[in-house]
Amino acid sequence: MNFCPQCAKPLMELPLSGRDRLACPDNGCGFVHWNNPTPVVAAIVEHDEHVILVQNVGWPETWFGLVTGFLEAGEMPETAVLREVEEEIGLKAEMQSYIGMYEFYRANQLLIAYHVTVDSHDVKLQKSEIAASKWVPIETVMPWTAGTGKALRDWLRGRGIERDLGEFHRVNN
């Protein structure tokens, strides 16, 4: 954002609330771009001692991650994560547990992660969003440093499995 959406003046970095923020320099306007993170839900989808990893459209062929999606207005995270699993991989999921919240600074997102289970390995990918998927045995799945990898690490830790975080593009191949 370069210009004020209210008065069209160029925005400036100004010290506000303890940090520099883009703001309109016009005292009569008062616009501040708070740059709040976008809430995103993430699902560790489990079936038969495996978890599914998905490759988003546009990602390199070696990149796989968790099922994720944006929270919609008026939607609770628990509802959103079940909706996203059904939309992206075509399976109805059952909520098991909340895992935690994680920052994803590169995309300015707040990730809200859950563990869900499904009754089948037979996925129907939403091809407009998901290019590929693979089921990975829990005993071999490796968490990664980017985005949802920390949620996977914490979920594994809750199962008594300690794993270090690996580089996103080098894990789970």
pLDDT tens per residue across span 110-122: 999 999 999 999 9
What DSSP designation does 139 have? Answer: T
Q: What does the pLDDT read at residue 39?
A: 96
97 and 46 in a common domain:
yes
CA trace torsion 71, 107, 132, 112 (10° rounding):
-40
What DSSP designation does 25 have? Answer: S
Q: Quick check: 87 and 69 in contact, CB under 8 A?
A: yes
46 and 26 in a common domain:
no
94 and 76 in a common domain:
yes
Q: Which comes out higher in pLDDT, residue 107 or 126?
A: 126
119 and 60 in a common domain:
yes
13 and 56 in a common domain:
no
67 and 98 in a common domain:
yes
pTM of the predicted model as reported, rounded to 2 decimal places: 0.86
82 and 138 in a common domain:
yes
Domain residues for the domain of 134 are 38-170
Name which of 141, 145, 120, 172 is nearest 51 in CA terms: 141
Strand pairing class (32-33; 19-23): antiparallel
| 60-101 pLDDT, tens digit each | 988 999 999 999 999 999 999 999 999 999 999 999 999 999
Q: What does the pLDDT read at residue 1?
A: 87
Q: What does the pLDDT read at residue 168?
A: 67
Domain count, the chain: 2
Average confidence score pLDDT of the chain? 94
CATH code, domain carrying 31: 2.20.70
